[in-house]
């Protein structure tokens, strides 16, 4: 019965618009019949919807995970402002239109890997014929990752509409990276409303009474062509920080995800485990994008920091958690099965220690033995598992449960919060550094309603940062965040801080900080020697006694290289990025930088940077699939560039060499130049086609090497008797080479361009 009724609800409730922002900025200009619509559409490759559905069903049956795929992702790189059709409006403003057609698609949604909009610019995703839309997106959606993912528009043709005021022309950047062809039929995909099984129980049914707070923390994730679930979680600092817990197999690139909060059937209009349809709820409480903080495959978790705090008017909550290894005696989960409105499931059994698919780490998961009410389904992945005290103890990895299955198969496995707490032992593989930033070590904490402060006077300090660029110099730029978790407004405070032996430094702050407000405080720059350092700071209220001392102190460890250089890695992996990771090793085989594995569905360039001293290193790129980062039928060959602070490529992997097997190892020397040598040694001409000259002025050169960027030495001279050395490169291939000169003044490394 449910499947026949839900199509009516789709057209009744979604026939006009799909909102993605809470601000109503009016309709797109393309809804105006006087605006001529573009007739030029970018067509994506053909997708066989039926075959994609079969493939996804086969994947689900074999993997047992509970991510839900609804769309085929097409990787593109389209500069919208360059490629769009432009219309000059009467007042001098510009209207950009870029049409997209995905033949036979049920829905279309997009991801941008370069999203920077100037104030006043508005972006919509529009079907002007059926008057459906998503937007507006504005400069309020700008974020540090410069990425953005859109909601779904149910059509096989859409137009990207961008309105740019005349005074803001040329001030924005917009690059489209992914087009998602939704291949699920309307009968299965009416915004996924009523798509879940008939035994599922709406969260506002009687079973959900007493779980309203936990309900308000849970959100659905639109991650490209798939759906997952996750939830906001509390931390020990007392500050409201929008940390979001979900599953590692849902992906680890949240910059272009959409987090949809409070999508649930209203109380009194629910389906409580029958074949009756659920009534739709508001779908406009969305956050676009987040930054990955930590992840680990062992317990299948990700922790992300949302780009914005959810609006207090949404009534959100931050769940408490329990990091002990004590089995819960009652189990509850709140989730979005098959991308449907929010549901609740209950098992009155005791949790069992398990490993997912019997192949993971021993005792890495909590098993729900058999659901008594409700189940989970694909898209429930990442949803929180609560114990009898309403605290999070894990997130869903996968399992056998589903409506109509025998009770012996109604089990699911959740990655343990207990194991995720310590994770892989590093900041980016564990929860502890993020959820206990003040290191008080509690076994559990309760959740918090950000609209209800717990104290009258409560200021705190968090998020100590040393700007990455300054870690490569003696002068550091530290900063901290201060916040107000109390009822009373704060007007002044003292920040006491120290760097190891440099103690009793004081910064006097005077400003206004209202409830739940946070401000970044740049501290005075300071000069430190190279080495390991510990930064400590604590917050003191000048005028009142702070009622919560637990969030007044923060500590951060860091390492400086006083004569270092920032190197930037631009890594492009177009498929199966979850198979790849990289390391940079020094001559002692010590790892000085690393990254990955990444999201399996990653299609965006991976940009990372790190500081190194003047030395030679080895870059290693690993692939667990034993085929490198090579193309298959669905993607292109990958590649990477490693550049120095001048933007010069000092190491790279070309697409033609992408199929390297399980390991690509390439030596390189960073292009840091010694000042004294650089002032007395000249290299010219550069670029060159035939020869180049090395001239030394009052300094003896002992050795000259010319090598490829992969470290192969092509020219060597360690018997230099003249001040001028002329080297013939006529027979060398075009490209970038490294010149390494050892002299009595030090080592000089330069790039040489052969045309």
CATH of the domain at 579: 2.60.40
User: Do 162 and 238 belong together in one domain?
Assistant: no
> Which residues, 6+ apart, have CB-to-CB distance to 598 below 8 Å?
252, 253, 573, 577, 578, 580, 606
Structural tokens at position 701: 């050169």
> Which residues, 6+ apart, have CB-to-CB distance to 628 below 8 Å?
621, 638, 658, 659, 660, 661, 664
Q: Quote the pTM value.
A: 0.61
Beta strands in 183-318 (DSSP E): 218-222, 226-233, 243-246, 258-261, 286-288, 290-296, 301-306
Smallest Cα–Cα separation from 34: which of 94, 99, 89, 98? 89
333 is catalytic: no
CA-to-CA distance for 414 and 425, rounded, in angstroms? 20
Give the SS3 label for residue 629: coil
User: Do 286 and 399 belong together in one domain?
Assistant: yes
Q: Which of 265, 381, 599, 743 is catalytic?
A: 381
User: Do 312 and 368 belong together in one domain?
Assistant: yes
Max Cα distance, the chain (Å): 93
747 within a domain of the structure (yes/no): yes
User: Do 541 and 571 belong together in one domain?
Assistant: no
444 within a domain of the structure (yes/no): no
CATH of the domain at 497: 2.60.40.10
> What's the confidence (pLDDT) of residue 672?
43
- Residue 204: burial class (beta carbons within 10 Å; 0-12, 13-18, 19+): buried
Distance, C-alpha 271 to centroid of its chain:
34
- Range(s) of the domain holding residue 92: 2-189
> What's the confidence (pLDDT) of residue 359?
54
CA-to-CA distance for 379 and 320, rounded, in angstroms? 23
Other CB atoms within 10 A of residue 11 CB: 11
User: Do 361 and 271 belong together in one domain?
Assistant: yes
312 within a domain of the structure (yes/no): yes
Q: What are phi and psi for residue 58, nearest 5 degrees? A: -65, -40
Domain boundary among 652, 669, 686: 669
Number of structural domains, the chain?
Answer: 5
pLDDT digits (tens, 9 = 90+) for 650-673: 888 888 889 999 999 988 877 544
Give the SS3 label for residue 329: coil
CATH of the domain at 719: 2.60.40.1930
CA-to-CA distance for 285 and 313, rounded, in angstroms? 10
249 is catalytic: yes
Give the N- to C-terminal CA distance of the chain in Å, as an integer. Answer: 71
Give the SS3 label for residue 472: helix
- Residue 400: burial class (beta carbons within 10 Å; 0-12, 13-18, 19+): middle
Domain boundary among 406, 435, 464: 435
Question: What letters, b where the CB count within 10 A reaches 16 and e where it falls short, cover 678-706?
Answer: eebbebeeeebeeebebebeebebeebbb
Three-state secondary structure readout of 653-712: ECHHHCCCCCEEEEEEECCCCCHHHHHHEEEECCCECCEEEEEECCCCEEEEEEEECCCC
CA-to-CA distance for 595 and 426, rounded, in angstroms? 12
551 within a domain of the structure (yes/no): yes
Other CB atoms within 10 A of residue 598 CB: 22
User: Do 689 and 621 belong together in one domain?
Assistant: no
Q: Which of 65, 134, 271, 300 is catalytic?
A: 300
User: Do 656 and 586 belong together in one domain?
Assistant: yes
Other CB atoms within 10 A of residue 520 CB: 10
CA-to-CA distance for 632 and 501, rounded, in angstroms? 56
429 within a domain of the structure (yes/no): yes
Q: Is the dihedral of CA 9, 125, 184, 102 positive or negative?
A: positive
Give the SS3 label for residue 197: coil
Q: What are phi and psi for residue 82, nearest 5 degrees? A: -80, -40
Smallest Cα–Cα separation from 648: which of 748, 567, 564? 567
328 within a domain of the structure (yes/no): yes
DSSP assignment of 523-540, as one string?
PPPEE--SEEEEEEEEEE
User: Do 550 and 620 belong together in one domain?
Assistant: no
User: Do 634 and 702 belong together in one domain?
Assistant: no
Beta strands in 365-487 (DSSP E): 365-368, 384-386, 392-399, 412-416, 444-445, 459-466, 475-476, 478-484
Q: What is the Cα Rg of the chain in Å? A: 28
- Residue 406: burial class (beta carbons within 10 Å; 0-12, 13-18, 19+): exposed
33 is catalytic: no
* 8 A C-beta contact, residue 666 and residue 653: yes
CA-to-CA distance for 571 and 651, rounded, in angstroms? 12
User: Do 554 and 612 belong together in one domain?
Assistant: no
Domain boundary among 163, 189, 215: 189
Q: What is the mean pLDDT of each run of 10 residues along the chain (755 residues)?
A: 27 30 66 86 92 80 73 92 91 93 92 90 90 86 84 92 91 91 60 70 93 96 88 90 94 88 88 80 84 92 93 93 95 92 94 78 89 92 96 94 83 94 90 89 90 86 75 79 88 91 86 86 86 88 87 82 81 83 87 78 73 85 87 80 79 88 86 45 83 83 81 83 86 82 73 79
User: Do 280 and 389 belong together in one domain?
Assistant: yes
Give the SS3 label for residue 536: strand
739 within a domain of the structure (yes/no): yes
CA-to-CA distance for 108 and 94, rounded, in angstroms? 25
User: Do 71 and 167 belong together in one domain?
Assistant: yes
pLDDT digits (tens, 9 = 90+) for 246-284: 999 998 889 889 899 999 988 888 889 887 777 877 878
Other CB atoms within 10 A of residue 368 CB: 30
* Residue corresponding to tokens 């649930």: 264
* 8 A C-beta contact, residue 537 and residue 554: yes
CA-to-CA distance for 484 and 459, rounded, in angstroms? 5
CATH of the domain at 421: 2.40.10.10
196 within a domain of the structure (yes/no): no
Question: What letters, b where the CB count within 10 A reaches 16 and e where it falls short, cover 602-635?
Answer: bbbbbeeebbbbbebbbbbbbbeeebbbbbeeeb
Q: Which of 74, 249, 335, 336 is catalytic?
A: 249
């Amino acid at each position: 019965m449910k499947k026949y009724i839900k199509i009516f609800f789709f057209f009744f409730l979604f026939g006009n618009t799909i909102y993605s922002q809470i601000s109503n900025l009016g309709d797109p200009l393309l809804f105006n019949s006087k605006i001529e619509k573009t007739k030029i559409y970018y067509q994506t490759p053909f997708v066989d919807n039926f075959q994609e559905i079969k493939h996804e069903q086969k994947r689900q049956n074999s993997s047992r995970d509970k991510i839900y795929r609804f769309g085929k992702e097409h990787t593109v790189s389209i500069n919208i402002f360059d490629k769009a059709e432009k219309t000059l409006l009467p007042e001098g403003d510009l209207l950009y239109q870029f049409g997209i057609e995905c033949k036979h698609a049920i829905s279309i949604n997009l991801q941008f890997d370069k999203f920077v909009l100037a104030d006043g610019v508005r972006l919509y995703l529009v079907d002007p014929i059926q008057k459906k839309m998503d937007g507006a997106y504005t400069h309020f959606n700008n974020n540090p990752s410069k990425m953005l993912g859109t909601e779904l528009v149910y059509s096989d043709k859409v137009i990207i509409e961008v309105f740019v005021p005349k005074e803001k022309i040329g001030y924005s950047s917009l690059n489209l990276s992914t087009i998602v062809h939704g291949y699920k039929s309307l009968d299965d995909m009416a915004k996924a409303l009523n798509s879940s099984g008939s035994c599922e129980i709406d969260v506002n049914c009687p079973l959900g009474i007493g779980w309203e707070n936990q309900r308000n923390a849970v959100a659905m994730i639109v991650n490209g062509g798939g759906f997952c679930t996750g939830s906001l979680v509390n931390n020990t600092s007392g500050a409201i920080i929008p940390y979001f817990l979900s599953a590692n197999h849902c992906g680890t690139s949240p910059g272009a995800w959409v987090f949809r909060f409070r999508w649930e059937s209203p109380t009194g209009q629910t389906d409580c485990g029958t074949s009756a349809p659920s009534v739709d709820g508001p779908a406009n409480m969305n956050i676009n994008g987040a930054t990955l903080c930590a992840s680990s495959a062992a317990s299948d978790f990700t922790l992300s920091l949302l780009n914005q705090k959810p609006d207090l008017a949404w009534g959100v909550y931050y769940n408490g958690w329990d990091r002990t290894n004590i089995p819960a005696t009652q189990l509850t989960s709140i989730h979005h099965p098959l991308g449907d409105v929010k549901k609740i499931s209950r098992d009155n059994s005791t949790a069992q220690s398990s490993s997912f698919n019997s192949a993971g780490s021993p005792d890495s998961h909590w098993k729900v033995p058999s659901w008594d009410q409700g189940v989970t389904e694909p898209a429930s992945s990442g949803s929180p598992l609560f114990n009898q005290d309403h605290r999070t103890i894990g997130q869903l990895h996968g399992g056998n449960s589903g409506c109509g299955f025998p009770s012996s198969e109604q089990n699911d496995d959740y990655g343990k919060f207990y194991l995720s707490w310590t994770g892989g032992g590093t900041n980016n593989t564990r929860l502890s550094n993020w959820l206990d930033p003040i290191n008080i070590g509690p076994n559990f904490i309760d959740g918090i309603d950000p609209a209800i402060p717990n104290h009258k006077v409560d200021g705190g300090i968090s998020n100590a940062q040393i700007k990455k660029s300054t870690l490569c110099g003696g002068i550091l730029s530290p900063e901290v965040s201060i916040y107000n978790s109390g009822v009373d407004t704060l007007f002044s405070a003292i920040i006491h801080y120290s760097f190891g032996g440099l103690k009793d430094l004081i910064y006097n702050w005077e400003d206004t900080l209202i409830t739940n407000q946070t401000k970044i405080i740049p501290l005075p720059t300071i000069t430190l020697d190279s080495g390991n350092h510990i930064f400590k700071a604590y917050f003191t209220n000048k005028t009142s006694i702070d009622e919560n001392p637990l969030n007044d102190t923060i500590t951060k460890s860091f390492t400086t290289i006083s004569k270092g250089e920032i190197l930037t890695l631009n890594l492009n992996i177009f498929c199966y990025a979850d198979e790849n990771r990289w390391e940079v090793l020094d001559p002692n085989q010590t790892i000085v930088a690393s990254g990955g594995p990444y999201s399996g569905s990653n299609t965006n360039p991976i940009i990372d940077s790190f500081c190194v001293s003047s030395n030679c290193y080895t870059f290693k790129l690993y692939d667990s699939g034993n085929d490198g980062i090579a193309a298959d039928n669905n993607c292109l060959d990958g590649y990477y560039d490693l550049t120095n602070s001048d933007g010069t490529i000092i190491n790279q992997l070309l697409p033609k060499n992408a199929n390297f097997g399980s390991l690509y190892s390439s030596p390189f020397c960073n292009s840091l130049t010694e000042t004294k040598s650089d002032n007395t040694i000249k290299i010219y001409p550069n670029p060159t086609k035939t020869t180049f000259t090395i001239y030394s002025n009052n300094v003896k050169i002992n050795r000259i090497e010319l090598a490829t960027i992969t470290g192969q030495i092509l020219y060597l001279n360690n018997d230099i008797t003249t001040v001028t050395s002329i080297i013939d490169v006529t027979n060398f291939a075009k490209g970038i080479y490294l010149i390494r000169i050892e002299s009595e003044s030090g080592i000089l490394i330069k790039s040489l361009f052969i045309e």
